[in-house]
Amino acid sequence: MGKSELFSHFADRFEVKRTQAREFFDELNALAEKELKRSGEFVIPGMVKLVVQKRKARMGRNPATGEQIKIAAKTVVKARIAKQLKDAVLPKK
């Protein structure tokens, strides 16, 4: 499902215009950015938790030549899927 289909679905479901549905997601995105910068995490209950993670510098290998290379330290955002969503989607073992 793409963005356009997502906006259309929410517009139909809640009987609002597609532009209003898009504004909702734009605001959710802005709020997520703000909270990630402020506290380092953002939670959408029952779905996902976004977490800022700092990675240390490390040594790696160039897969083409086998030569060792230095990988710089960096900050990334990781998504942790909520357990109830995993359980609903993934098959039971």
Residue 82's domain spans which residues? 40-93
Tell me phi and psi for residue 52, to 5 degrees: -80, 130
pLDDT of residue 91: 83
Residues of the chain with pLDDT under 70: none
Q: Does the global pTM surpass 0.85? A: no
pLDDT single digits (tens) 51-71: 999 999 999 999 999 999 999
Inter-residue contact 22 to 6 (CB < 8 Å): no
Residues 29 and 70 reside in one and the same domain: no
Q: 3-state class of 66 per DSSP? A: coil
What's the number of domains the chain is made of? 2
Q: What is the pLDDT of residue 40?
A: 95
pLDDT, residue 19, reads: 94
State the pLDDT at residue 5: 95
User: Are 30 and 72 within one domain?
Assistant: no
